[in-house]
Amino acid sequence: MQKIPATVVTGFLGAGKTTLIRNMLQNAGGRKIALIINEFGDLGVDGDILTGCGIETCTEDDVVELTNGCICCTVADDFIPTMTKLLARDRLPDHIVIETSGLALPQPLVAAFNWPEVKTRVTVDGVVTVIDTAAVAAGRFADDEAKVAAARAADESLDHDNPLEELFEDQIRAADLIVLNKADLVDAATLERVRGEIDSQCAEAVKIVTAEGGVLPTDVLLGLSAGTEDLIADRKSHHELHHEGEGHDHDHDEFESFVVEAGQVADPKAFAEGLSAVIAGHDILRLKGFADVPGKPMRLVVQAVGQRIETYFDRPWKQGESRATRLVVIGLHDGLDAATCGTIRATIRALTDGAAQAAAE
Ligand SMILES: Nc1nc2c(ncn2[C@@H]2O[C@H](COP(=O)(O)OP(=O)(O)OP(=O)(O)O)[C@@H](O)[C@H]2O)c(=O)[nH]1
């Protein structure tokens, strides 16, 4: 029996994974694609956006959401059973696409394709790592060299002290194909500089392509035939390199997320401006969700990556679905202690209609 190819789409929070997958589904060329989506935070926004996007081949049946934590930590409990169920279906997919959370290490996930129950049926066609070119250009993932040097002087086993940089490198290290996305946000010289930077970090065989809005021919993304499960042992993550043989579980303690339930949003533009100020005031990496705009039959999608905010109406609220404003906020643990989370929650709520919020509670 021919193995089903599976593509792992990874990349940091907000790099454009869901956008790229949405475009891929729109141009699937008749392939039946099953999606497995994993998110950090207790609100399944990506799956909801994809099933709400109206693409014929993207129904709730085609999308499985894994929301019990990062996929790299829940391989045995969540991912393997999901794959087993998928493979037991009468109508098998032609291709499986897995979107990892923006904080996931791809290595444990890819290694799971060597588990006997999966290995006989599925092969990893390739790991596609999506990169926010503008964020790299702005130094978002760069170590503060002075800080690292000081920390290393105190603990010489230390590699990085910046969880963003470490994760970014691990996601690049796992890649078969790298997509320099958001090319529209940088000029040509910056794009080339970032390409050079990334190129120097990955193996020669790894292809690097650029994209705007995640738009790439599906044949560029699918059909790499890399068989990455056989190669992944040589693409170790920082965690694996540091704790080899120690049986030391990794976690995502450096990151924090919480959900804000708020009232109605009377003025989406003013709301976005208010959110922008909240993000600027606290080091929020990612904020996303849906908002209830009074008098509008459609729900408002709210997407923020750093300071950049986007809002658009995607689909009508469904019958029986409660109209609500719910946003997930993600940042570094150090920047989001309980008091700060409380302040952010209160500030966001204050941007919405408090009376409606009180009535809803
Ligand atoms: N300007 C610009 N914006 C983009 C591009 N690709 C994606 N975006 C925007 O970036 C934001 C995040 O995109 P997503 O596709 O949700 O990113 P993601 O990687 O799936 O995010 P997480 O799942 O939260 O990690 C959205 O507002 C997108 O519209 C691009 O090429 N250019």
Reported as a single tens digit per residue, the pLDDT across 57-104 is: 666 777 888 877 788 788 888 899 999 999 999 889 999 999 999 998
Q: What are phi and psi of 90, to 5 degrees?
A: -65, -45
Which atom of ligand 1 approaches the CA of 182 most closely?
A: 31
For the question of an ipTM over 0.90, the answer is yes
Rounded CA-CA distance 262/356 in Å is 9
Rounded CA-CA distance 303/136 in Å is 19
Please provide the distance, in angstroms rounded to a whole number, between the alpha carbons at the two ends of the chain.
54
Distance 14 CA to ligand 1 centre (A): 5
Residue nearest to atom 11 of ligand 1 (CA): 14
User: Is the CB of 314 within 6 Å of ligand 1?
Assistant: no
Question: In this model, does residue 114 exceed pLDDT 70?
Answer: yes
Rounded CA-CA distance 106/175 in Å is 9
Instruction: Give per-residue pLDDT as tens, 211-246.
Output: 999 999 999 999 999 999 999 998 888 877 776 656
Which atom of ligand 1 approaches the CA of 11 most closely?
A: 19
* Both tokens assigned to 300: 């408002």
Distance 80 CA to ligand 1 centre (A): 28
Cβ-based burial of 351 (10 A; exposed 0-12, middle 13-18, buried ≥19): buried
The crossing angle, in degrees rounded to 10, of helices 268-281 and 338-350 is 160
User: Is the CB of 303 within 6 Å of ligand 1?
Assistant: yes
Distance 121 CA to ligand 1 centre (A): 32
Which atom of ligand 1 approaches the CA of 308 most closely?
A: 27
Residue nearest to atom 7 of ligand 1 (CA): 16
Distance 326 CA to ligand 1 centre (A): 19
- 85's CB contacts (< 8 A; 6+ apart) are none
Residue 188 vs residues 137, 191, 284: alpha-carbon distances, Å: 12, 5, 28
The predicted model scores a pTM of 0.90
Fold of domain 255-360? Hypothetical Protein Yjia; Chain: A;domain 2 (3.30.1220)
Tell which residue, 224, 136, 221, 128, has the closest CA to residue 178.
Answer: 128
Domain boundaries, the chain: 4-243, 255-360
Distance 135 CA to ligand 1 centre (A): 12
User: Is the CB of 102 within 6 Å of ligand 1?
Assistant: yes
The whole-number pLDDT of residue 115 equals 93
- Mean pLDDT rounded to a whole number for the chain: 88
User: Is the CB of 24 within 6 Å of ligand 1?
Assistant: no
Which atom of ligand 1 approaches the CA of 13 most closely?
A: 25
Which atom of ligand 1 approaches the CA of 22 most closely?
A: 15
Rounded CA-CA distance 340/357 in Å is 21
Laid out side by side, the sheet with 4-10 consists of 63-66, 33-38, 95-99, 4-10, 122-132, 177-181, 207-210
User: Is the CB of 169 within 6 Å of ligand 1?
Assistant: no
User: Is the CB of 13 within 6 Å of ligand 1?
Assistant: yes
Average pLDDT for 319-346? 92
User: Is the CB of 23 within 6 Å of ligand 1?
Assistant: no
Q: Mean pLDDT lowest for which of 134-148, 173-187, 254-268, 327-341?
A: 134-148
Instruction: Give per-residue pLDDT as tens, 130-182.
Output: 999 999 999 888 765 555 556 556 655 555 567 888 899 999 999 999 999 99
The whole-number pLDDT of residue 355 equals 47
Distance 156 CA to ligand 1 centre (A): 37
Average pLDDT for 357-361? 51
Class of domain 4-243: alpha beta
86-115 exposure pattern, b = at least 16 Cβ within 10 A, e = fewer: bbeeeeebebbbbbbbbbbbbbbbbbbbeb
